[in-house]
Chain A
């Protein structure tokens, strides 16, 4: 037993293993506590349907958090890009390519602004993105004048609608497949691409990274830009599912998304993290509400247990880190 515990894999994957165990324990509790619900498929389909909307952003945000930065503006980037997508789709009579290209381009532009404020102007990211959080949401309100946009006529039943949110074999929501594929891709980039490597070095020690020839500002800007892109993408997924844009779209995503990243084991100090962990974090955070209700507890317990989970997880990581030093 002790040889397994000290093996190379275990030593280098403590975070991933801890988070996996936490998730397994949680799902066992669901399973035995609410057997009638968790032995049937619909609950899992509901999870697969709803988790990708914040999961995609959480995966992408893992890069920014690994830099030792934070982005609080993504809920509003979701808002402004969804509004753009809805307006374009309705005004072009359902031209997917134009709507998709311009909405994601706007997302990247919003990310670029965040990146420039942080690197070139030197505003701490937590402050800069509070500013852009209000700014983009404000713009949504001004443009939409508080009303929503239905895209039923332009989107329902189209090929693009099917690609985004159709059910594979009438069972598995397409957005979940996209989410899993993106997670795999992003994990690969995170660990094995030059960009992911640079993210780790910049987050670990900015000055050292610079001396080693890494363009620190460029790495940070690209990180914010890709988060802008994936925020737009998540917004578009949500719109295809709901076939509707509403002016507060995205604003409930902030805490669940960041909680998934932190529960997943990515360090807020930067330099260390895991995309896989974030994925599991999404499964945990995204299942809590339904899980708790299915267990027979009232909805009032949701926040309480959410808080408990986050606190337990980050405590375990802090202890692992402490032991290492």
Chain B
């Protein structure tokens, strides 16, 4: 069995009276791509926000690289090596590209003033090496507003690669993208495995998920209701399971 990277034990999360996560137990191994699937309101987004430090669980334990951790903030989860790619939603439209790349972890001197030149230089490198932007129309000084969906996604990915994280969390990475752009994103996810990095991703499109993931975790109303390795289940069977879940509210796990 491969090495564990992240382990969640008995995670509960409420928002007032709404129990969003109920007794979640999952493990992510090194070099593994795990897809979280489930209907709207299944708790997928909340779960990844617990992992990235946006939300704190009401109870439960989290282990990262075999140490128990309390993830209190986004910046803390980033320091540990967890990087979230929230698609274009985590970019600010009216700000320049280089400022977006370093937002929340600016390169500064000891007085907190930004090292603009360094940020721009590094941003240029990210654009060229990690994202492969060659268009002259887009520079590090461009406002994010003018970018296409795929370009924004590219910036978000470039950012996560640059900061060299162990676990990359992708929230609906293919939403709103063209077929070509989707292909790029999926290749990116597959490429992570070669670098022994792990990824968790959420996607509504089972076809996308199936191609890119090693393992599938199915959530329903805040609970894990099924878990399959790719070689245990075909794409058609997975689709069937989801339809079955949708219709009956239950899932048959016959492994």
A: which residues have CB within 8 A of B?
Answer: 8, 12, 188, 192-195, 197-198, 200-201, 204-205, 207-215, 271-272, 324-325
Do A271 and B92 form a contact, CB below 8 Å, given A211-B54, A211-B74?
yes
Residues of A within 8 A of B104 (CB): 201, 209, 212-214
Is B94 on the interface with A (CB-CB < 8 A)? Answer: yes
Q: Is the CB of B114 within 8 A of A193?
A: yes
Do A194 and B106 form a contact, CB below 8 Å, given A213-B73, A213-B75?
yes
Q: Is the CB of B112 within 8 A of A193?
A: yes
Is B108 on the interface with A (CB-CB < 8 A)? Answer: yes
Q: Which of B52, B94, B114 contacts A197 (CB 8 A)?
A: B114
Q: Which of B92, B106, B111, B113 contacts A208 (CB 8 A)?
A: B92
Q: Is the CB of B92 within 8 A of A194?
A: no
Is B141 on the interface with A (CB-CB < 8 A)? Answer: yes
Residue of chain A at shortest CB distance from B99: A197
Residues of B within 8 A of A192 (CB): 113-114, 116
Residue of chain B at shortest CB distance from A189: B113
Residues of B within 8 A of A207 (CB): 89
Q: Is the CB of A208 within 8 A of B89?
A: yes
A-contact 0/1 string along B108-133, CB 8 Å cutoff = 10011110100000000000000000
Q: Is the CB of A211 within 8 A of B95?
A: no
The 26 sampled A-B contact pairs (Cβ below 8 Å) are: A12-B141, A192-B116, A193-B113, A193-B114, A197-B99, A197-B103, A197-B106, A197-B114, A200-B92, A200-B95, A201-B92, A204-B93, A204-B95, A208-B91, A211-B52, A211-B74, A211-B84, A212-B74, A212-B100, A212-B104, A213-B78, A271-B92, A271-B93, A271-B94, A272-B94, A324-B145
Is B86 on the interface with A (CB-CB < 8 A)? Answer: yes
Residues of B within 8 A of A197 (CB): 99, 103, 106, 114
User: In the assembly, what is the distance between CA of A201 and CA of B96, in Å?
Assistant: 10
Interface members, chain B 37-69 (any A CB < 8 Å): 52, 54
Residues of A within 8 A of B52 (CB): 211
Residues of A within 8 A of B94 (CB): 200, 204, 271-272
Residue of chain A at shortest CB distance from B114: A192
B141 to A: closest C-beta gap in Å: 7
Q: Is the CB of B92 within 8 A of A204?
A: yes
Closest 5 CB pairs of A and B: A213-B104, A213-B74, A204-B92, A212-B104, A213-B75
Residues of A within 8 A of B116 (CB): 192
Is B105 on the interface with A (CB-CB < 8 A)? Answer: yes
Q: Is the CB of A194 within 8 A of B112?
A: yes
Do A271 and B95 form a contact, CB below 8 Å, given A194-B106, A211-B90, A213-B104?
yes
Q: Is the CB of A212 within 8 A of B108?
A: no
Residue of chain A at shortest CB distance from B53: A213
Q: Is the CB of A208 within 8 A of B114?
A: no
Do A194 and B73 form a contact, CB below 8 Å, given A201-B103, A205-B93, A324-B145?
no
Q: Is the CB of A215 within 8 A of B108?
A: no
Residue of chain B at shortest CB distance from A272: B94
User: In the assembly, what is the distance between CA of A201 and CA of B114, in Å?
Assistant: 15
Most B CB atoms within 10 A — which of A192, A210, A211?
A211
A-contact 0/1 string along B70-92, CB 8 Å cutoff = 00011100100000101001111
